[in-house]
């Protein structure tokens, strides 16, 4: 059966209402598909609740990995937006996290999230040891592994396929942008063809893929950011997407490269862009993030981005005002 808003030629149908226009009186209004759970986008939290029947929480852990653009293999310093911790400021011990969460959610399920740096960048024997050590914990339902598309050798893919057959798994790929000039500026050190091959390889093995994009990278216009969203959304194998608000943080190269840079001048400007992005993402794709998550203690810019609840409420309110939803303007 085709998913809602889709036909045999497109992942979703284009709405008759132009982006930014309020719904006219008497026009058809949004009727959410069941898997939206009454929301205007397809939250991964809702998807996991349907799968497990309970709240499901990702526990960020530090696997002590590095990155090929950090250790000199392809470059040094890592991606310019990353902190010294490799975008893993919340990683901590699994049992400590479960203990802290169990009072509030005594029946929660847990996924172990290898978050910071590149968590497939090591010999296969080392990867197997680290993954299996986590999976022996009876409270862990499966793995979420953050990595780079250029760190998925055949041997690594074989290991991931083995895990995928036995446990729940998804892989998160840090693409950030489809634009090569921006990719060079952030020191990503791989091109778009590498990403395309990785997505195909994961699809062939039946492994779920989640793609990270950053909104607000220096030099990127609104249309460039929407182009990245459209490109990733066109991948038939896509399971989920993360839209990150660029956070300039202490300890990153961007702290020194762009000391006065503001990716967006207001919450409203960011909210408007996120809603435009959501309208172009197929409704069956799960949404894993819609803003930044840098701790306030290291956040430099934008200064309002720690107000996550305000941002998320703004996104919800604008979608409701426009009678809009994820997938309304898929192409």
Task: Identify the CATH number of the domain in which residue 208 sits.
Answer: 3.80.30.30
Of residues 22 and 54, the one with the higher pLDDT is 54
Length of the chain: 331
- CA dist list (Å): 135 to 58, 94, 209: 14, 11, 20
Q: DSSP of 17-29, one letter per residue?
A: SPTTPPPPTTS--
145 pLDDT above the threshold of 50: yes
Determine, yes or no, domain membership for 7: no
> Is residue 11 classed exposed, middle or buried when 0-12, 13-18 and 19+ CB atoms within 10 A define those classes?
buried
15 pLDDT above the threshold of 50: no
Determine, yes or no, domain membership for 283: yes
* Separation between Cα atoms, residue 176 and residue 230, nearest integer Å: 13
Confidence of residue 12 (pLDDT cuts 50, 70, 90): low
pLDDT of residue 7: 32
- Give the mean pLDDT of 151-171: 98
Determine, yes or no, domain membership for 309: yes
Determine, yes or no, domain membership for 172: yes
Which range has the worst mean pLDDT, 9-18, 90-99, 120-129, 217-226?
9-18
pLDDT in tens, 89-134: 455 688 889 989 999 999 999 999 999 899 999 999 999 999 999 9
Kindly give the interhelix angle for 267-278 and 222-233, rounded to the nearest 10 degrees.
30
The mean predicted confidence, pLDDT, of the chain is 89
Closest among 286, 281, 197, 191 to 11, alpha carbons compared: 281
| CA quadruple 218, 68, 155, 114: dihedral, nearest 10 | -70
Q: DSSP of 95-141, one letter per residue?
A: HHHHHHHHTT-TT-EEEEEE-SS-TT-S-HHHHHHHHHHHHTSTTEE
- Give the mean pLDDT of 306-310: 94
Determine, yes or no, domain membership for 329: no
Provide the token pair at 143: 């793995």
Report the side by side order of strands in the sheet with 286-289. Answer: 56-61, 109-114, 140-147, 168-176, 208-215, 238-245, 286-289
pLDDT in tens, 103-112: 999 999 999 9
Residues ≥6 apart with Cβ < 8 Å to 18: none
22 pLDDT above the threshold of 90: no
Share of the chain above pLDDT 70, in %: 89
pLDDT of residue 154: 98
Determine, yes or no, domain membership for 13: no
Provide the token pair at 133: 């050590």
- Give the mean pLDDT of 191-208: 98
Could you tell me whether strands 140-147 and 109-114 are parallel, antiparallel, or unpaired per DSSP bridges? parallel
Determine, yes or no, domain membership for 141: yes
19 pLDDT above the threshold of 60: no
Determine, yes or no, domain membership for 15: no
**Domain span at 266:** 34-321
Question: What's the predicted TM-score (pTM) here?
Answer: 0.90
13 pLDDT above the threshold of 90: no
Residue carrying structure tokens 């997407």? 241
Provide the token pair at 298: 């290291």
When divided into structural domains, the chain yields a total of: 1
How many other β-carbons are positioned within 10 Å of the β-carbon of residue 206?
Answer: 11
């Amino acid at each position: 059966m085709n998913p809602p808003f889709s036909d045999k030629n497109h992942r979703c149908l284009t709405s008759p209402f132009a982006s930014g226009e309020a719904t006219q009186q008497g026009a058809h209004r949004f009727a959410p598909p069941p898997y939206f759970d009454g929301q205007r986008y397809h939250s991964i939290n809702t998807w996991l609740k349907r799968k497990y029947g309970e709240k499901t929480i990702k526990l960020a852990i530090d696997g002590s990995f590095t990155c090929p653009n950090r250790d000199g293999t392809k470059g040094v310093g890592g991606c310019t937006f990353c902190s010294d911790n490799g975008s893993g400021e919340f990683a901590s011990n699994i049992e400590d996290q479960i203990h802290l969460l169990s009072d509030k959610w005594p029946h929660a399920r847990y996924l172990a999230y290898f978050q910071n740096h590149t968590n497939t960048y090591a010999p296969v024997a080392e990867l197997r040891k680290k993954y299996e050590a986590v999976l022996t914990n009876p409270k862990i339902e499966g793995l979420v592994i953050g990595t780079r598309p250029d760190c998925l050798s055949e041997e690594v893919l074989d290991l991931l396929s083995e895990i995928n057959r036995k446990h729940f798994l998804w892989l998160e790929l840090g693409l950030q942008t489809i634009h090569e000039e921006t990719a060079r500026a952030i020191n990503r050190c791989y091109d778009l063809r590498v990403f395309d091959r990785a997505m195909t390889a994961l699809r062939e093995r039946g492994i779920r893929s989640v793609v990270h994009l950053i909104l607000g990278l220096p030099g990127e216009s609104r249309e460039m950011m929407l182009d990245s969203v459209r490109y990733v959304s066109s991948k038939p194998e896509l399971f989920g997407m993360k839209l990150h608000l660029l956070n300039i943080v202490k300890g990153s190269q961007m702290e020194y490269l762009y000391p006065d840079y503001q990716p967006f001048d207001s919450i409203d400007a960011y909210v408007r862009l996120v809603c435009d992005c959501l309208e172009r993402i197929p409704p069956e794709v799960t949404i894993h993030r819609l803003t930044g998550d840098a701790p306030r203690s290291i956040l430099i810019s934008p200064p309002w981005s720690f107000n996550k609840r305000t941002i998320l409420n703004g996104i919800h309110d604008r979608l409701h005002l426009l009678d809009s939803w994820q997938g309304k303007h898929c192409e």
